Amino acid sequence: MTTTRYSFRRILREGLSGHRGWTPAWRSPELKKHYDAVIIGGGGHGLATAYYLTKNHNVRNVAVLERGWIGGGNSGRNTTIVRSNYFFPESARVYDLALRLYEGLAADINFNIMLSQRGLLTLAHDEHQMEMARRSVNAMLINGIDVELLDAAQIKAEVPLLNFAPDARFPIHGGYVQRRGGVARHDAVVWGYARGADALGVDIIQGCEVTGFRMDGERVIGLDTSHGPVDAGVIGMAVAGHSGVLAAKAGFQLPILSYALQAMVSEPIKPVLDTVIMSASTGAYVSQSDKGELVIGAGLDLYPSYAQRGNLPTTQNVLAGLVEMFPSFRRLKLMRQWAGIVDVCWDYSPIIGPAPIDGLFLNCGWGTGGFKAIPAGGYLLAHLLATGQHHAFSAPFDLRRFETGALIDEAAGAGIAH
């Protein structure tokens, strides 16, 4: 099967011939006995890893194993926000690499990811938060990130729908904006990477659960799966909330806790909001999708969970926060509510690097911010798998930082209540 190139001319031709010429975006091959590299987890990070491993490092004979289906996990459950407004230089480098790759991704993978850099506005609700905003903006500017501090009048001019009433429970004192931030179509990102990797020869195996790690002494040489055993030259793991479950199968533990992170969408309405709003105080963040739904994100449900639904108190809290910020939204109905299981590290920064056993490399711990980092997570894990060495950008995120104490504390950069 050759991959169909998507173009305006192609749409025109298919439109005139009843759309009967489209082929599946990727194959469904059988699992082979041996691969040079196997990636566990067919989410955005896993598929991006396979794509960059093949494209940038010319590693052929690569497989991605996905327990469920492509786009069924956190890749299809996030709030689609992209941004790189992080405090520490180590984080800014990684997240801005991701944003720059996102900016060129649609052309790179010939798949419209509907990147909309509509800006991302973080609100400050009192003078102390304004002081912190000034500090963050200074740090981010030093990191080379495009952020601007805004006062209340500027925010009112940009987002007049926000609650500027004199009796507002959370009055708006100002905030800061990253103009290059925004949203991308999450399904398109994961489907696009799947299609791009498949076109380069990567085998994407859906419905394939990893049940065990096959060891030769201290080195992992293959996997047991629900589709039978497979030998692997090297293995990458990008399984988000289930990182701890798989690590236990490989005989080690990770400094990660799994939590449910909720999101929900309203009924579709006409365009009212042309940017992304984040507010740590109200515990809510919101943008409007191209279909007109408000996409609302919450803080974490504050106890460990592997249930992909979230509990009512957090839902109530985020919705109370939303209608406080936007009183005009109070009569909207919710269409759907769900949760994804996120892998949170103690310093709210990811783990990228070798696992405690040879032959296995990790990409996990992105916590509440995995979607925005997909291209960088894939790019950096691919570098590790191909060379066995850290890229300069991933070195600070090695698992050993928990022993050395060189943590990268992005508790504020994570941007939401936790």
Partner 1 sequence: MLKIDCPWCGPRGENEFTYGGEAGTVRPIPATAIDDAIWARYLYIRRNEKGAHRELWCHSGGCKQWFVMLRDTVTHAIAAIEKIGSP
Q: Interface with partner 1 by CB under 8 A: which residues? A: 242, 244-245, 253-258, 302-307, 311-313, 346, 402-405
Closest contact distance (angstroms) between CB of 242 and partner 1 is 7
CA end-to-end span of the chain, whole Å?
A: 46
Nearer of residues 316 and 389 to partner 1, judged by Cβ: 316
CA angle in degrees (0–180, nearest 5) for 76-80-84: 135
Contact 193, 44 (CB under 8 A): yes
The pair phi, psi for residue 99, each rounded to 5°, is: -65, -40
Q: How far is CA 23 from the centre of its chain?
A: 28
Distance CA 353, CA 392 (A): 11
> Position 414: which residue type?
A
Closest contact distance (angstroms) between CB of 404 and partner 1 is 7
Closest contact distance (angstroms) between CB of 317 and partner 1 is 9
Question: DSSP character for 88?
Answer: S
Closest contact distance (angstroms) between CB of 131 and partner 1 is 28
Nearer of residues 96 and 343 to partner 1, judged by Cβ: 343
Within 10 Å of residue 108's Cβ, how many Cβ atoms? Answer: 17
Nearer of residues 229 and 304 to partner 1, judged by Cβ: 304
Nearer of residues 167 and 403 to partner 1, judged by Cβ: 403
Distance CA 230, CA 260 (A): 32
Closest contact distance (angstroms) between CB of 304 and partner 1 is 5
Please report, for residues 22, 71, 192, the alpha-carbon distance to residue 14 in angstroms, rounded to integers and kept in the order given.
8, 25, 20
Nearer of residues 75 and 317 to partner 1, judged by Cβ: 317
Distance CA 275, CA 310 (A): 26
Nearer of residues 69 and 306 to partner 1, judged by Cβ: 306
Nearer of residues 41 and 182 to partner 1, judged by Cβ: 41
Closest contact distance (angstroms) between CB of 346 and partner 1 is 5
SS3 348: coil
Closest contact distance (angstroms) between CB of 243 and partner 1 is 9
Contact 175, 150 (CB under 8 A): yes
Q: How far is CA 267 from the centre of its chain?
A: 24
Distance CA 416, CA 369 (A): 10
